Amino acid sequence: MNKITYCYHSHTKRCGHASGEDEEYIKKAIEFGLKDYGVSDHVILPHIIQPGMRGAWNLLDDYLSSIKNLKEKYKDQINIYTAFECEYMPQYVDYYRSLLKKKKVDYLILGQHCYFKDRRVIWYHELDVETGLKEYTEHLISGMATGLFMYVAHPDIFMCITDKWNDLTKKYAKQIIDAAIKYDLPLEINLAHARYYGMRQFAGAYTYFEYPFTPFWEMVAKSKAKVVIGFDSHRPIDVLYPGLEVVEHIVKTTGVKPIYNLSLKDKKNRI
């Protein structure tokens, strides 16, 4: 298997469902041999309190300063970047854009988990299947169209909404893949879920539970969409043992061709 040189999807304890100190993650990244490591916790949003999902607003300065200090401390050993994993929500697009323009973050990734409506959190998997799939796909594609994001995290997380792989799910999967090609945004093979749940019979296939969902990646392999790998680390040990055997299995099973060497220094700003 090719040697991966980057991790651009990782979290910190501030989100409420990760653990470990920031510096522990960096030390594990260096031990693994990564060249580029991006800290991309769930985006901290103004006036939003969502315990167990994202850090509160008063944690923003600490988050930014901690990573800045680690960048300087380890600058001769690894390239460290500041980022956020964000949901597309139209009311926050200007905020996301300001984070980039003011250089508070180096990049953003698009990870669609939920959205806010009338100050309520709406989770896609809590909607009826057709509505959930439709809204997830529409919101994800709208996010791609903004040009604010480096890549799409776990695009196949929509399999949390349904346990069926049928014409309906395939329709929305195709829309996501077509949009990724249109907007030239890589799709991420996400390793977090597979590390915890492994493989099983699900939605008519022997695959990783919910995501990465092998039939989805078979569709991606037949397209011209770009593919990246996301550790989605929530513990320092996840950086050292990210579960790359999952990628190896998907590559062998589907023929998809991930990018193993991706340096932010070579990417143009997508603002």
What percent of the chain has pLDDT above 70?
A: 95
Predicted confidence at residue 198, as pLDDT, reads: 75
**Which residues contact residue 189 at a Cβ distance below 8 angstroms, ignoring those fewer than 6 apart?**
212, 217, 227, 228, 229, 230, 246, 247, 250, 256, 258
Could you tell me the CA-to-CA distances from 2 to 95, 107, 195, 232 in Å, in that order? 37, 25, 20, 19
Q: Show the DSSP H helices in the chain as ranges.
A: 22-32, 60-73, 93-101, 129-145, 167-182, 192-197, 214-221, 236-240, 244-254
Average pLDDT over residues 157-169: 95
Average pLDDT over residues 66-76: 98
Amino acid occupying residue 271: I
Q: 3-state class of 265 per DSSP? A: helix
Angle at 49 between CA 25 and CA 157, to 5 degrees: 60
Q: Are strands 114-117 and 120-123 parallel, antiparallel or unpaired?
A: antiparallel
Q: Are strands 205-208 and 199-202 parallel, antiparallel or unpaired?
A: antiparallel
Predicted confidence at residue 39, as pLDDT, reads: 98
Residue 98 in contact with residue 108, Cβ under 8 Å?
A: no
Q: Report the distance separating Cα 86 and Cα 92, nearest Å.
A: 10
Per-residue pLDDT at 78 exceeds 80: yes
Per-residue pLDDT at 2 exceeds 70: no
Per-residue pLDDT at 216 exceeds 90: yes
Predicted confidence at residue 75, as pLDDT, reads: 97
Per-residue pLDDT tens for 35-45?
A: 999 999 999 99
Residue 185 in contact with residue 177, Cβ under 8 Å?
A: no
The pLDDT confidence band at residue 269, using thresholds 50, 70 and 90, is very low
Q: Report the distance separating Cα 216 and Cα 173, nearest Å.
A: 7
Q: Are strands 79-86 and 36-42 parallel, antiparallel or unpaired?
A: parallel
Q: 3-state class of 67 per DSSP? A: helix
Per-residue pLDDT at 126 exceeds 90: yes
The pLDDT confidence band at residue 268, using thresholds 50, 70 and 90, is very low
Predicted confidence at residue 210, as pLDDT, reads: 81
Average pLDDT over residues 133-138: 98
Q: Which of 52, 72, 50, 48 is CA-nearest to residue 11?
A: 52
Predicted confidence at residue 204, as pLDDT, reads: 72
Q: Report the distance separating Cα 75 and Cα 81, nearest Å.
A: 11
Strand partners, 233: 10
